[in-house]
């Protein structure tokens, strides 16, 4: 009996580990309100929580109303993330809950991760909570920022932004001041009153240029001859990271960066009440010099300084950060800092500033 109990426990643990290769922030993806006959798209992000790479082999949905866009054979390295784009095309009114199964190969074995999508199909949208970014004149977007992180040469990552036409006339989405490395496709090309659509943005890493952060602002035109301004502005950022190829022997003597990924600023007092500051260190526990080749901020509201760009083995560098808190409502996107290093296992360090 004792042996049977131990065997059951072993199998239970094996099952738990087998289903834990990929994780998601939640087992259910909430689509919210979906307009009837107006497809809605959302991305699901998976993270590989193991110490080995997994390969994406298949994605299956349980009905024809749900389609998935994904990259067959994509290798997700240990700790890395991958996204799958799901589109729900509502055929009937009312609540829906659908299953999506993601198949991966982990060390020669097939693993399955199941997630659910749910929401409510309505004849006309009444709840705009999913479209909080108001660009004016009855046009609302699901977000006002685009962030393409950890992009390598040859990649063409995509992001989808939902758009709702809350006017009484049909609307044709048009984007202004697009950079050469970014394209957009609107579906449908004309959005009827009270209906939704999507704008799929594609970034071409080969046209970005040097490694590091590329940023720009684009603008959503609401009518013919529209002008650019803060109200219809979208902020776009792309982080181009080096493609690392290193031999095991070279890895042994490589530098190794040690740094936190979050920095909490402390608000000032008195005459400095409108300024928040913080300090963090970047260490090197490797066997050669750690070089910080680039230091950039994702948001112009941040001021950053680093006391040295070359960190010898066993030493640390100090990074000081400050923020004008009285201007915080003007900032768009997350407050983040980017460092490009020569650590082959950590070529980029992104620090979220709280």
State the Rg of the chain over Cα: 23
Residue 18, pLDDT > 80, answer no
User: How does pLDDT run across 117-155, given as a tens digit for each residue?
Assistant: 898 887 777 677 788 999 999 999 989 999 998 888 888
**21 against 146, higher pLDDT:** 146
Residue in 285, 287, 278 with CA at minimum distance from that of residue 258: 285
Question: Model-level pTM?
Answer: 0.67
User: How does pLDDT run across 241-295, given as a tens digit for each residue?
Assistant: 887 778 888 888 999 999 999 999 998 888 878 889 999 999 999 999 999 998 9
Core vs surface per residue 23-35: b (16+ CB within 10 A) or e: eeeeeebebbbbb
> What is the predicted pLDDT for the residue at 273?
82
Residue 10, pLDDT > 60, answer no
Residue 352, pLDDT > 60, answer yes
Omega within 30 of 0 (cis) for the link into 188? yes
> What is the predicted pLDDT for the residue at 179?
95
Token pair of 174, please? 């048009």
> What is the predicted pLDDT for the residue at 331?
66
User: How does pLDDT run across 188-208, given as a tens digit for each residue?
Assistant: 899 988 888 889 999 999 999
């Amino acid at each position: 009996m004792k042996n049977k109990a131990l065997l059951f426990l072993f199998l239970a643990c094996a099952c738990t580990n087998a289903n834990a290769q990929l994780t998601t922030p939640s087992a259910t993806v909430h689509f919210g309100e979906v307009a009837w006959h107006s497809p809605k798209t959302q991305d699901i992000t998976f993270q590989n929580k193991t110490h080995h790479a997994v390969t994406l082999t298949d994605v299956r949905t349980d009905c024809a109303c749900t389609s998935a866009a994904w990259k067959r054979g994509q290798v997700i390295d240990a700790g890395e993330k991958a996204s799958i784009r799901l589109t729900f095309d509502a055929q009937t009114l009312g609540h829906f809950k659908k299953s999506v199964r993601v198949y991966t190969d982990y060390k020669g074995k097939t693993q399955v991760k199941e997630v659910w999508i749910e929401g409510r199909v309505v004849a006309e949208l009444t709840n705009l909570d999913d479209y909080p970014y108001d660009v004016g004149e009855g046009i609302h977007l699901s977000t006002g920022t685009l962030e393409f992180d950890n992009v390598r040469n040859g990649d063409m990552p995509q992001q989808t932004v939902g758009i709702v036409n809350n006017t009484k006339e049909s609307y044709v989405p048009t984007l202004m001041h697009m950079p050469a490395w970014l394209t957009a496709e609107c579906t449908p090309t004309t959005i009827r009153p009270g209906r939704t659509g999507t704008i799929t943005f594609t970034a071409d890493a080969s046209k970005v240029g040097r490694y590091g952060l590329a940023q720009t602002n684009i603008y959503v035109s609401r009518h013919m001859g529209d002008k650019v301004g803060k109200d219809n502005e979208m902020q776009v950022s792309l982080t181009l990271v080096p493609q690392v190829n290193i031999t095991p022997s070279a890895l042994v003597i490589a530098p190794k960066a040690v740094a936190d990924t979050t920095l909490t600023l402390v608000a000032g007092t008195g005459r400095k009440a409108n300024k928040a500051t913080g300090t963090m260190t970047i260490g090197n526990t490797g066997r050669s010099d750690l070089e910080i080749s680039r230091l950039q901020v994702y948001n112009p509201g941040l001021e950053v300084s680093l006391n040295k760009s070359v960190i010898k083995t066993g030493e640390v560098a100090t990074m000081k950060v400050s923020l004008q808190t009285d201007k915080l409502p003007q900032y768009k996107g997350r407050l983040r800092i980017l460092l490009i290093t020569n650590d082959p296992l950590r070529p980029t360090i992104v620090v979220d500033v709280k």
